[in-house]
Amino acid sequence: MPKIIENPTPAILKAAKDILLTEGYDGLTMRSVALRCNVATGTVYNYFSNKDSLIIQMMMDYWNQYFLVIDQIDIEEEDFYVKLSLIYEHFKRFTNDFHTIFLTQSFKLGYTGEAHANKMDFMVKLQNRLAKLVHIKSVNSTKSIADEEIAEFILANFVAIAYVPNYTYQNFHKILIAILG
């Protein structure tokens, strides 16, 4: 008999993430999540209307945590390039966890509506955070490229590095030093 869980949302999200990481997008079903949590399938549907809404919530939770990590990195007394590397490492963890969804499945939502808006919101926030970091780096330098343009370049390269196997963070790092000094 399924058990009653006081607050099932965290357990549902954890089970869904575990299934997603081990069995992929196609292996993730509302039924498999319910079985993993030992609750009725209807219980999962009470909290998430479908698999995509469950995945969106997992990503939103990750993104919220990611910005807390960036806050922590911001206050550390580290060099710009060390901070940038740390921010990238956490970005890479996210792309590793959700790689299949972004690239292969394209979310099966057609990347419209809520999923697209959430992704764009995340990317804009991340680009703005990178621009602030670049601004601190560039306060005492003379450059002809705006902080926002450099942040856009950095973010585009984060995505490229995460998804293009022969392009490494080390290559990007060398190029960025050549550009920014």
Residues 65 and 147 in one domain: yes
CATH number of the structural domain spanning residue 152: 1.10.357.10
Q: What percent of the chain has a predicted confidence (pLDDT) above 90?
A: 38
Q: How many domains does the chain have?
A: 2
Q: What pLDDT score does 94 carry?
A: 81
More confident residue, 130 or 116: 130
In this prediction the pTM is 0.77
In this structure, the answer to whether residues 56 and 33 fall within a common structural domain is: no
The pLDDT tens digits for 87-112 are 999 888 888 777 666 554 444 544 45
82 pLDDT exceeds 90?
yes
- 164 and 100 within one domain: yes
Distance, first Cα to last Cα, the chain: 63
Q: Using one digit for the tens of pLDDT, what is the confidence trace for 19-72? A: 988 888 888 999 999 999 988 899 999 999 998 888 888 888 888 899 999 999
Rounded mean pLDDT of 133-151? 76
**129 & 146 share domain:** yes
Q: Which residue has tokens 């869980």?
A: 5
Distance in angstroms (rounded) separating the CA atoms of residues 18 and 14: 6
CATH number at residue 43: 1.10.10.60
**In terms of residue numbers, what domain contains 72?**
51-180
d(CA 154, CA 150): 6
Same-domain pairing of 65 and 120 = yes
Residue 77, C-beta contacts closer than 8 angstroms, at least 6 positions apart: none
